Structure 1
Amino acid sequence: MNQGGGTPGEVPPSSVHDLRARRDDSGGRHDWRELVDAVRESGQYTTRSEAESVTRVVLSALGGHVVGDERVDLARALPEEAARVVASQIPATRRLTAAEFVDSVATRIEGATPATARWDVSSVLSVLAERVGDGLVTRILDQLPPGYALLFGRAELAPAE
């Protein structure tokens, strides 16, 4: 439910202001650095710059596919810089399968293949899942087509027949 007016899935300006108000004097840079460092460790990237680039690309791609309250809550749970990346995306017009999502990320990372893009996506989303909590991740996964759970580092159970 979008309570801030504007486009569905858009983070209302008041929410972005709330994000800033909750940050320490570093403006959230410290939290962003911690997020990138966790991605660097998870993905075993050789440089902080590479981890930061991958984090931005994956969060940008995810931001277009998470809408409504989940998008607002995701932005609120993230460091300010990450929240901006997620919240600034225009909602996607078509829901991508998990494989299509990974392929779309591959097109945004120079030299990436579907296999390396899957690694990149999983590195970022598994760290994201640890930081935002199970409840929000479950709500996000409920919005997305089957197959995304593995990207978030979760088992995906098939429904009983």
Structure 2
Amino acid sequence: MRWSEFVERVRERGEYPTGREAERVSRTVLPALAGQLDREERDLLARRLPPEAARLVTARGPATPPLPAAAFVDAIAARTEGATPATARWDTSSVLSVVADAMDRGELDRLMARLPGGYALLFGRARLVPDRPAREAEPV
């Protein structure tokens, strides 16, 4: 995927009127996400993103400790002029759901397992816990 494709997907997902707005949101959320991850996770994420996005992810050192999801969204709101918690949640989810699409399920599960609770919905995941293998039916 190229950066322009990533931004276009964010624009569509977030229903932003312009690519410029989607790019601004992406340039806010990706470095903030990187600040929640250790080097190994940042590198894993960077390998799945276009080079421009990868640079945004790898240029940032980790935050200590990672923020809970609600505080992460509040941090995005604080970095975005005129944002409210609701618009910041929308922006964050618009970007992170595109990030989730770029990763395979195992990688995304691994990344989310390293984050505090509450991030699954921001990544567009309906399940808050990983799927478990179905149990075999017991004989009757």
Place the TM-score, normalised by the shorter chain, in its bin.
0.7 to 0.9
Which residues of structure 1 form unaligned runs of 5+?
1-29
* Contact 2:46–2:54 (CA under 8 A) maintained in structure 1: yes
Q: 66-75 or 95-104: which moved more? A: 66-75
Q: 2:50 aligns with which of 79, 98, 115?
A: 79
Report what 2:124 is aligned to: 153
Letter of the aligned partner of 1:156 in structure 2?
L
Given the two structures, how large is their TM-score scaled by the length of structure 1? 0.77
SS in 2 for 1:156: coil
Letter of the aligned partner of 1:98 in structure 2?
A
Report what 2:75 is aligned to: 104
Q: CA RMSD in A?
A: 1.4
Report what 2:108 is aligned to: 137
Q: 1:88 aligns with which of 59, 62, 75?
A: 59
Report what 2:91 is aligned to: 120
Report the count of equivalent residues.
129
SS in 1 for 2:120: helix
Report what 2:12 is aligned to: 41
SS in 1 for 2:71: helix
Given the two structures, how large is their TM-score scaled by the length of structure 2? 0.88
CA distance in structure 1 between the aligned counterparts of 2:79 and 2:5, rounded to whole angstroms: 23
* Contact 1:59–1:85 (CA under 8 A) maintained in structure 2: yes
Which residues of structure 2 form unaligned runs of 5+?
131-140
SS in 1 for 2:37: coil
The superposition leaves residues 40-65 of structure 1 with CA deviations (integer Å, 9 ceiling, x where unpaired) of 00000001100000011000100111
SS in 2 for 1:148: coil
The superposition leaves residues 108-130 of structure 1 with CA deviations (integer Å, 9 ceiling, x where unpaired) of 11110000000000010011101
> Matched residues, percent identical?
56
What displacement does 1:69 show? 2.2
